[in-house]
Amino acid sequence: MAAGRHADRTVIVTGAASGIGRGIARRFGEEGATVVVADVRREPKQGERYDTDVTRPTDELVASETDGDATFVETDVGDPESVETMVEATVEAYGGVDVLVNNAGIQIEGDSQTTTLEEWERSIAVDLSGAFYCAKYAIPHLVESGGQIVNVGSVRGFEGGGGPPYAAAKGGVVNMTRDLAMELGDDGVRVNCINPGYIETPLQDINTDEDVEKSREQTLVPRFGTPEDVGDAAVFLASDEAGFVTGANLPVDGGWLAHSGL
């Protein structure tokens, strides 16, 4: 039997092939969980940075290097049918769902005039609607298991920035977290949100040197964050140690929002 805070639990992590999701999946694996890697692809694209071993798929890494087990389920969170199929496959394989981590996201740079309607719709579909679809289909199983939802928002959900669709979607995730916490409290399902600041992932490749320097000035801790920093927070919020924590929006931002006065 695996040891750890999440031993014998089944955890779905969306967008887990790379970046923050990959770090979250590995941390849950280290805590003994069975991890469902739900992503549109099984492994990082060639050349993506910051992962310990980008040549190996996340599910193989979790299974071989941690106390947990993992499997990949191809999932487009912006497509409700794909999400429903993923949740059903998880329940069929493992008998239920104990933790849902809504991490999948995309960021499209641009302002209101350069962002196309197609970019807006796809960003909202993945970053906001995807979190809703996953919650909707997982909640009956989470109620049965007394499980948890951990959403991944962003500091941009509080202060704006990152483009209109990204800021709007992440602000929606922040408030959906509160609403779901109120809805599900009596059912014993806790719902919380992690709001990362600058985390070193391939998502940051779109930033200019000027953007990076501004982020460095905004971050009070003398380093940028890592996917494992977010993974540590997710593991805690989904654990019994956080049993009296729900509806919370936790910054994992090196002091970004404190610097902003938010």
pLDDT of 80-92, one tens digit each? 999 999 999 999 9
Q: What is the rounded average pLDDT for all residues in the chain?
A: 92
What's 107's domain CATH number? 3.40.50.720
Query: Is residue 2 in some structural domain?
Result: no
| pLDDT (average), residues 210-233 | 90
Tell me which of 48 and 115 has the higher pLDDT: 115
Active site residues: 166
For the chain, how many structural domains are there in total? 1
Query: Is 127:39 a contact under the CB 8 Å cutoff?
Result: no
Looking at this protein, which amino acid is placed at residue 120? W
Q: Is residue 21 part of a domain?
A: yes
Question: CA 129, 248, 105, 20: dihedral to nearest 10 degrees?
Answer: -150
Flag whether 5 is in a domain: no
Q: Tell me whether residue 1 is in a domain.
A: no
Collect all residues with Cβ–Cβ distance below 8 Å to 222 and sequence separation of at least 6: none
Answer yes or no: is 4 within a domain. Answer: no
Q: Is residue 155 part of a domain?
A: yes
Q: Dihedral (C-alpha) 224, 167, 238, 35: value to the nearest 10 degrees?
A: -80
Contact 126, 37 (CB under 8 A): no
pTM: 0.93
Q: Is residue 34 part of a domain?
A: yes
Q: Show the domain range for 235.
A: 10-260
Q: Answer positive or negative: Cα dihedral of 226, 230, 236, 239.
A: negative
Whether the pLDDT of residue 51 is over 80: the answer is no
Tell me the per-residue pLDDT of 54-104, one tens digit each, with 9 for 90 and over: 668 889 989 988 889 999 999 999 999 999 999 999 999 999 999 999 999
- Of 165-174, 197-206, 210-219, which range is least confident? 197-206
Query: pLDDT exceeding 90 applies to what percent of the chain?
Result: 75
For the chain, give the percent of residues with pLDDT over 70. 92
- Percent helix, strand, coil in the chain (nearest 5)? 50, 15, 35
The Cβ of residue 185 has, within 10 Å, a number of other Cβ atoms equal to: 13
